[in-house]
């Protein structure tokens, strides 16, 4: 115990007196989270389809125009803009903005559309009630008057967005068309009804479509830039401790301290254990700081607040598992690498590759199918996936056991490889 | 009565993985208790390989090593408690103070509390570093680092001390302090195994000398005996050059 305690104190002293190392460990990852979250925020918002801006020119100014305008706004997917720089948008301006790519969708509701719809409805009702007697029709159809809604699309718009807009428009126009037909029908049959009685339009569909997420809790939490970037870059930063850790191991070997420690009874293992303990604590401090960035600092910049889920135990076990995996990888690299340069370049490049594969930069669900399959080889992916489970899917300890075990197993394997390599060097 | 043998090597051969030439070839040596044994040789002669095998850092491919009668590597743990090593490199933590370094290495040898404190103070005093004990090692001069490097290897009062070029690259004053201290340690009963390229220093310090080249011991004995056995040469350096040649050994 004396050796372990002394070795831990030594590691802490070495660490806290290395300002550059401390910056790599704590400041740079926090800066990284800030920068990446802010950069990726707009991309994630588009992915969530929460802020698709739609220009609307409502020349109808009647029921159809209002229904489309209000309907689009009420979905939450579209941000409806009817004016730019406090000026109403004209058809010409709308066309110009879409063609220049300033906006991706524009909707023009032509003048008199609602009126045309009403006339059409009246003719339909009359026709139906006249039972084939065309002479008794009071309304003559005006072929020049039609209800027209023109949708302009930027050619680069994703097909899914295009489809969303068309579906929404179809929905709103159908509703308003039904309402207008019902109103026309009511007017026609009013004389036949007993005095004082009225027909009322129900409007709502008789079919209820329920939406629910497959997880038990946090149905309201969608993966936004904060929910992705904070855990992703935290895992990345935790793995980046391999740089100071391998540097520490190689320095000890180069200056002969490792040799001296190896010649002390039972000390080398103790020293290695102390490094693992100290760097585990470093990882946990990093993790705590990153969470603070997501909970406190990013919301100050207008970003969403990081949701932590409701199982702190799962969160602690998962972060410990990631820390163990990162430390194990660092010990292996530090044992095998023959110089600082080799360890730093191989270490950083390997973590970046594992991060790219593992869905740190681009979430795995956005990758092509082949990359999604490959991503499971990256321990960073196991970590991020586990955090997704805890943050977004309300996973408890039991649910994250596969990821935690995989990370711990990775740590065990890397440690064993390091010890085996060290043993081989003796011969 | 013959003095007790503390280190015995019998037909030691060492091949490194993937090599066909042995680094050490069939060496047999006996190092008596309380000797200052100088293992001398040109670069790449096999000195470090031999010392590393004696410390248990490397396993010999063939042969047997006994330290204090105990067979290596079977009794490695016990043997390591009895040996001290002063590597050629400054094996210290530069961002820690001298005191912090020594406390750490002392703890690693199982020393603690007042005993360790007294031992650190005693060693620092003997090697003239007591006033600089709270300074970080990175601020030390080369000579101070060497002296501290020596202290870190002897804190636990080992019976056998391995020194790999303990005076390389330092001023005359520091060298004098170190050599005087080594002689005192030896008088107190420590057996010293020492490698160096300073042959004059070895001649004055060592009670026994072995010259190794191409992995083989080519001559062994007391320095005065070696000089007497080659009357055509006046000192150890000329004998050394005669035996190992004047060709440069860059590898």
- Which of A123-127, A278-282, A403-407, B195-199 has the lowest average pLDDT? A123-127
Search chain A and give the residue with CA nearest B153. Answer: A260
DSSP letter (8 states) at residue B36:
E
pLDDT-derived band of residue A217, with 50, 70 and 90 as boundaries? very low
pLDDT-derived band of residue A214, with 50, 70 and 90 as boundaries? low
- The three-state secondary structure class of B156 is coil
pLDDT digits (tens, 9 = 90+) for A100-126: 888 888 999 988 888 888 888 888 777
Task: List CB contacts of A296: < 8 A, sequence separation 6 or more.
Answer: none
Residue B134 tokens, joined: 């709270």
pLDDT-derived band of residue B102, with 50, 70 and 90 as boundaries? very high
Rounded to an integer, the average pLDDT of A69-82 is 83
Residue B186 tokens, joined: 């030896």
- Calpha distance A124→A129 (Å, rounded): 9
Contacts of residue A14 in chain B, CB cutoff 8 Å? Answer: 93, 95-96
CA-based nearest distance B141→chain A, Å: 16
User: Is A7's CB within 8 Å of B55's CB?
Assistant: no
Q: Looking at the predicted complex, does its ipTM rise above 0.85?
A: no
Is pLDDT larger for residue B93 or for residue B73? B93
Of B55, B85, B93, the CB nearest to A10: B93
Provide the strand spans (E) within A142-286: 149-153
| DSSP calls for A46-109 | HHHTS-EEEEEEE-S-SHHHHHHHHHHHHHSSEEEESEETTEEPPHHHHHHHHHTTS-SEEEEE
Of A257, A265, A266, the CB nearest to B93: A257
Percent of chain A with pLDDT over 90: 17
pLDDT digits (tens, 9 = 90+) for A334-388: 999 988 888 888 988 999 999 999 888 888 877 888 888 888 899 999 998 888 8
Structural element, H or E, at residue A185: helix A159-189
Rounded to an integer, the average pLDDT of A267-280 is 86
pLDDT at position A197, please?
A: 67
Q: What is the mean pLDDT of chain A?
A: 82
pLDDT at position B62, please?
A: 92
Answer yes or no: is pLDDT of B2 > 60. no
Answer yes or no: is pLDDT of A320 > 90. yes
Rounded to an integer, the average pLDDT of A37-59 is 72
According to DSSP, the β-strands at B36-40 and B83-86 are unpaired
Search chain A and give the residue with CA nearest B109. Answer: A264
Answer yes or no: is pLDDT of B220 > 60. yes
pLDDT at position A70, please?
A: 87
Cβ atoms < 10 Å from Cβ of B140: 19
pLDDT digits (tens, 9 = 90+) for A134-159: 565 555 656 566 788 899 988 777 77
The count of CB pairs under 8 A between chains A and B is 80
pLDDT-derived band of residue A133, with 50, 70 and 90 as boundaries? low
According to DSSP, the β-strands at B24-32 and A78-81 are unpaired
Answer yes or no: is pLDDT of A42 > 80. no
Contacts of residue A262 in chain B, CB cutoff 8 Å? Answer: 57
User: Is A260's CB within 8 Å of B59's CB?
Assistant: no
Contacts of residue A256 in chain B, CB cutoff 8 Å? Answer: 87-91
Answer for the pair B193, B37: CB distance below 8 angstroms, yes or no.
yes
pLDDT at position B169, please?
A: 79
Provide the strand spans (E) within B144-195: 160-164, 191-195
Is pLDDT larger for residue A362 or for residue A198? A362
User: Is A6's CB within 8 Å of B107's CB?
Assistant: yes
pLDDT at position A409, please?
A: 96
User: Is A265's CB within 8 Å of B55's CB?
Assistant: no
Contacts of residue B163 in chain A, CB cutoff 8 Å? Answer: none
Answer yes or no: is pLDDT of A253 > 90. no
- Calpha distance A371→A360 (Å, rounded): 13
pLDDT digits (tens, 9 = 90+) for B28-71: 999 999 999 999 888 888 888 898 899 888 889 999 999 988 99
Most distant CA pair in chain B, distance: 57
Rounded to an integer, the average pLDDT of A255-280 is 84
Rounded to an integer, the average pLDDT of A321-338 is 92
pLDDT digits (tens, 9 = 90+) for A274-300: 999 999 999 889 889 888 888 888 888
Which residue of B70, B108, B153 to mutate against A (max A Cβ within 10 Å)? B108
Residue A108 bridge partners (DSSP): A57, A150
Answer yes or no: is pLDDT of A233 > 60. yes
User: Is B57's CB within 8 Å of A426's CB?
Assistant: yes
Search chain B and give the residue with CA nearest A7. Answer: B104
Sheet holding A149-153, edge to edge: A78-81, A52-58, A105-109, A149-153
pLDDT at position B1, please?
A: 41
| DSSP calls for B183-216 | HHHHHTT-EEEEE-S-HHHHHHH-SEEEEEETTE
- Calpha distance A388→A400 (Å, rounded): 10
| B66 exposure class (CB count in 10 Å sphere: 0-12, 13-18, 19+) | middle
How far CA A244 is from CA of A4, A275, B247, in Å, comes to 20, 11, 43
CA-based nearest distance B102→chain A, Å: 11
Contacts of residue A10 in chain B, CB cutoff 8 Å? Answer: 93, 96, 100, 104
DSSP letter (8 states) at residue B165:
S
Highest mean pLDDT among A36-40, A408-412, B44-48, B148-152: A408-412
Contacts of residue B103 in chain A, CB cutoff 8 Å? Answer: 6
Contacts of residue B77 in chain A, CB cutoff 8 Å? Answer: 265-266
User: Is B89's CB within 8 Å of A256's CB?
Assistant: yes
Answer for the pair A69, A251: CB distance below 8 angstroms, yes or no.
no
User: Is B87's CB within 8 Å of A14's CB?
Assistant: no
DSSP letter (8 states) at residue B97:
B
The backbone torsions φ and ψ at residue B248, rounded to the nearest 5 degrees and listed phi first, read -65, 140
Task: List CB contacts of A250: < 8 A, sequence separation 6 or more.
Answer: A334, A337, A339, A340, A343
Residue A216 tokens, joined: 């038990």
Whether the bond into B73 is cis, omega within 30 of 0: yes
The span from the first CA to the last CA of chain A, in angstroms, equals 30
Q: What is the mean pLDDT of chain B?
A: 87
Of A3, A7, A263, the CB nearest to B85: A263
- Calpha distance A35→A253 (Å, rounded): 36
pLDDT-derived band of residue A48, with 50, 70 and 90 as boundaries? low
- Which of A177-181, A329-333, B184-188 has the lowest average pLDDT? A177-181
The backbone torsions φ and ψ at residue A243, rounded to the nearest 5 degrees and listed phi first, read -65, -60
pTM of the model: 0.71
Percent of chain B with pLDDT over 90: 32
CA-based nearest distance A267→chain B, Å: 6
Which residue of A264, A424, A427 to mutate against B (max B Cβ within 10 Å)? A264
Search chain B and give the residue with CA nearest A257. Answer: B91
Search chain A and give the residue with CA nearest B14. Answer: A427
């Amino acid at each position: 115990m004396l050796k372990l305690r002394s070795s831990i104190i030594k590691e802490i002293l070495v660490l806290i007196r290395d300002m550059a190392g401390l910056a790599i460990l704590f400041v740079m990852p926090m800066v990284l989270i800030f920068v990446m979250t802010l950069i990726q925020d707009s991309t994630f918002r588009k992915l969530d389809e929460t802020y698709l801006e739609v220009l609307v020119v409502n020349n109808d100014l009647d029921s159809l125009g209002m229904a489309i305008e209000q309907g689009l706004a009420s979905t939450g997917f579209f941000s409806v803009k009817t004016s730019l720089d406090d000026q109403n948008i004209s058809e010409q301006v709308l066309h110009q903005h879409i063609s220049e790519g300033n906006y991706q969708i524009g909707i023009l509701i032509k003048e008199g559309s609602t009126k045309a719809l009403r006339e059409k409805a009246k003719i339909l009702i009359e026709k139906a009630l006249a039972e084939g007697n065309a002479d008794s029709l009071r309304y003559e159809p005006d072929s020049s008057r039609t209800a027209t809604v023109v949708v302009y699309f930027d050619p680069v718009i994703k097909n899914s967005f295009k489809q969303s807009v068309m579906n929404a428009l179809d929905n709103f126009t159908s509703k308003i068309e039904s309402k207008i037909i019902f109103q026309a029908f009511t007017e026609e049959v009013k004389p036949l009804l007993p005095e004082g009685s009225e027909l009322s339009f129900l409007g709502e569909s008789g079919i209820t479509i329920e939406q629910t997420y497959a997880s038990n809790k946090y149905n309201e939490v969608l993966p936004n830039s904060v929910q992705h970037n904070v855990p992703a870059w935290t895992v990345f930063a935790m793995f980046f401790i391999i740089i100071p850790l391998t540097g520490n191991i190689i320095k000890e070997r180069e200056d002969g301290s490792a040799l001296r420690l190896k010649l002390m009874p039972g000390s080398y293992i103790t020293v290695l254990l102390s490094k693992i303990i100290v760097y585990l604590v470093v990882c946990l401090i990093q993790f705590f700081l990153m969470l603070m960035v997501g909970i406190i600092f990013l919301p100050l910049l207008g970003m969403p607040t990081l949701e932590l889920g409701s199982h702190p135990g799962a969160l602690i076990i998962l972060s410990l598992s990631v820390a163990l995996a990162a430390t194990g990888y660092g010990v292996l690299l530090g044992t095998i690498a023959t110089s600082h340069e080799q360890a730093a370049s191989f270490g950083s490049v390997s973590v970046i590759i594992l991060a790219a594969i593992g869905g740190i930069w681009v979430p795995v669900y956005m990758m092509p199918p082949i990359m999604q399959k490959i991503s499971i080889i990256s321990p960073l992916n196991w970590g991020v996936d586990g955090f997704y489970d805890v943050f977004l899917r309300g996973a408890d300890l039991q649910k994250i056991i596969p990821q935690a075990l995989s990370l711990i197993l990775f740590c065990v394997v890397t440690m064993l490889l390091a010890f085996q390599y060290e043993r081989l060097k003796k011969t | 009565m013959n003095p007790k043998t503390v280190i015995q090597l019998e037909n030691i051969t060492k091949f490194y993985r993937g090599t066909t030439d042995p680094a050490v070839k069939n060496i047999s040596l006996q190092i008596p208790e309380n000797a200052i044994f100088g293992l001398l040789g040109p670069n790449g002669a096999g000195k470090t390989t031999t010392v590393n095998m004696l410390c248990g850092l490397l396993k010999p491919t063939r042969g047997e090593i006994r330290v204090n009668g105990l067979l290596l590597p079977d009794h490695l743990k016990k043997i390591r408690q009895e040996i001290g090593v002063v590597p050629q490199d400054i094996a210290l933590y530069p961002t820690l103070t001298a005191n912090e370094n020594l406390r750490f290495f002392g703890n690693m040898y199982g020393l603690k509390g007042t005993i360790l404190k007294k031992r650190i103070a005693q060693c620092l005093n003997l090697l003239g570093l007591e006033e600089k004990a709270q300074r970080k090692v990175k601020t030390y001069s080369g000579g101070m680092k060497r002296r501290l490097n020596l202290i870190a290897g002897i804190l636990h009062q080992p019976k056998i001390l391995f020194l790999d070029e303990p005076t390389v690259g330092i001023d005359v004053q520091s060298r004098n302090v170190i050599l005087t201290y080594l002689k005192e340690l030896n008088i107190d009963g420590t057996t010293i195994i020492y490698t160096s390229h300073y042959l004059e220093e070895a001649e004055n310090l060592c009670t026994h000398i072995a010259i190794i080249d191409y992995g083989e011991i080519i001559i062994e004995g007391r320095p005065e005996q070696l000089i007497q056995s080659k009357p055509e040469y006046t000192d150890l350096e000329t004998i050394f050059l005669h035996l190992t040649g004047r060709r440069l050994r860059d590898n």
